[in-house]
Amino acid sequence: MSDTQFVMPVDVHNNLVEAAYRKRGYTDDEAKQASRFCELAAWHGIKTHNALKALHLDELFGSQVKPQGCVPGATIDKRDTKFAASEQWNGNFKLGQAVAFEAMDTCMKLADKYGVGQVSVDNAFHYLWGGGYVIDAANKGYIAYTNCTSTLAEVVPFGGKFPTLGTNPHSWAFPTTDAIGFPICIDWATSTVAMGRVQQFKREGKTLPPGSAVDANGKETTDPNQVKALLPFGAHKGYGLSLINELYGGLIGGSLPTLRGKPATKPAGEKTVSNFYFQVIHPDAMNCGGYAKGRTQSDNLKAVIDDILGHGNESCLLPGQIEARSAAASARHNGLLFTAKELDEFKHVADEAGISFDTSSFAAV
Amino acid sequence: MSDTQFVMPVDVHNNLVEAAYRKRGYTDDEAKQASRFCELAAWHGIKTHNALKALHLDELFGSQVKPQGCVPGATIDKRDTKFAASEQWNGNFKLGQAVAFEAMDTCMKLADKYGVGQVSVDNAFHYLWGGGYVIDAANKGYIAYTNCTSTLAEVVPFGGKFPTLGTNPHSWAFPTTDAIGFPICIDWATSTVAMGRVQQFKREGKTLPPGSAVDANGKETTDPNQVKALLPFGAHKGYGLSLINELYGGLIGGSLPTLRGKPATKPAGEKTVSNFYFQVIHPDAMNCGGYAKGRTQSDNLKAVIDDILGHGNESCLLPGQIEARSAAASARHNGLLFTAKELDEFKHVADEAGISFDTSSFAAV
pLDDT in tens, B185-238: 999 999 999 998 999 999 999 999 999 999 999 999 999 999 999 999 999 999
Is the same domain home to A281 and A163? yes
CB of B253 less than 8 A from some CB of A: yes
Residues of B in contact with A242 (CB under 8 A): none
Looking at residues B142-147, what average pLDDT do you find?
98
| A–B CB contacts, 8 A cutoff, strictly below | 313
pLDDT tens digit string along A13-40?
A: 999 999 999 999 999 999 999 999 999 9
CB of B6 less than 8 A from some CB of A: no
* B86–A84 C-beta distance less than 8 A: no
CB of A103 less than 8 A from some CB of B: no
At residue A345, does pLDDT exceed 60? Answer: yes
* A186–B81 C-beta distance less than 8 A: no
Confidence at residue B248, expressed as pLDDT on a 0 to 100 scale: 98
Chain A segment 221-240 residues within 8 A of B by beta carbon are: 233-234, 236-240
Query: Which of B244, B310, B319 lies closest to A240 in CB terms?
Result: B319
At B2, the pLDDT band (50, 70, 90 cuts) reads low
Residue B55 placed within a domain: yes
* A292–B158 C-beta distance less than 8 A: no
Confidence at residue A67, expressed as pLDDT on a 0 to 100 scale: 67
Confidence at residue A63, expressed as pLDDT on a 0 to 100 scale: 84
Residue B205 placed within a domain: no
* A289–B253 C-beta distance less than 8 A: yes
pLDDT tens digit string along B78-119?
A: 999 999 999 999 999 999 999 999 999 999 999 999 999 999
Residue B186 placed within a domain: yes
Is the same domain home to A266 and A287? yes
At residue B67, does pLDDT exceed 90? Answer: no
Is the same domain home to A142 and A277? yes
Domain with A22 in it: what CATH number? 1.10.1530.10
Min Cα separation A150/chain B (Å):
14
Count: domains in chain A? 2
Confidence at residue A62, expressed as pLDDT on a 0 to 100 scale: 83
Per DSSP, the residues of B169-212 read -EEEEE--HHHHSS-EEEEE-SBSS-HHHHHHHHHHTPPPPTTS
Is the same domain home to B39 and B108? no
Nearest CA in chain B to A253: B291
Confidence at residue A68, expressed as pLDDT on a 0 to 100 scale: 59
Closest CA to A152 of A118, A191, A116, A209: A191
CB of A169 less than 8 A from some CB of B: no
Min Cα separation A104/chain B (Å):
15
Helices A51-61 and A28-43, axial angle in degrees (round to 10) = 130
Residues contacting B68, CB < 8 A, separation 6+: B93, B263, B272, B273
Residue B326 placed within a domain: no
Domain with B299 in it: what CATH number? 3.30.1370.60
Residues of B in contact with A160 (CB under 8 A): 309, 312-313, 315-316
Is the same domain home to B247 and B296? yes
Residue type, A358: D
Mutation for A interface: B82, B304, B305, B321, most A CBs within 10 A: B304
Is the same domain home to B171 and B238? yes
* A312–B160 C-beta distance less than 8 A: yes
Mutation for A interface: B162, B247, B306, most A CBs within 10 A: B247
Residue B79 placed within a domain: no
pLDDT tens digit string along A219-254?
A: 999 999 999 999 999 999 999 999 999 999 999 999
Alpha helices in B44-92 (DSSP H): 51-61
Query: Nearest 5 degrees, angle CA B160-CA B166-CA B168?
Result: 120
Is the same domain home to B254 and B150? yes
pTM of the predicted model, to two decimals?
Answer: 0.97
Is the same domain home to A9 and A141? no
* B118–A116 C-beta distance less than 8 A: yes
Q: What share of chain B is helix, strand, coil (3-state, %, to 5)?
A: 45, 15, 40
Nearest CA in chain A to B260: A304
Residues of A in contact with B270 (CB under 8 A): 292-293
Nearest CA in chain A to B301: A250
Chain B segment 260-279 residues within 8 A of A by beta carbon are: 269-271, 277, 279
CB of B184 less than 8 A from some CB of A: yes
What gap in Å lies between CA A326 and CA A163, rounded to an integer? Answer: 35
CB of A168 less than 8 A from some CB of B: no
CB of A188 less than 8 A from some CB of B: yes
CB of B313 less than 8 A from some CB of A: yes
CB of A66 less than 8 A from some CB of B: no
Question: E strands along chain B, which residues?
Answer: 5-8, 77-78, 86-90, 116-124, 143-148, 170-174, 184-188, 213-214, 220-221, 229-230, 274-281, 336-339
ipTM topping 0.95: yes
Is the same domain home to B110 and B66? no
Is the same domain home to A106 and A186? yes
Query: What residues make up the domain containing B350?
Result: 1-73+335-365
Is the same domain home to A93 and A160? yes
At B61, the pLDDT band (50, 70, 90 cuts) reads confident
Is the same domain home to A181 and A251? yes
Residue type, A262: K
CB of A121 less than 8 A from some CB of B: yes
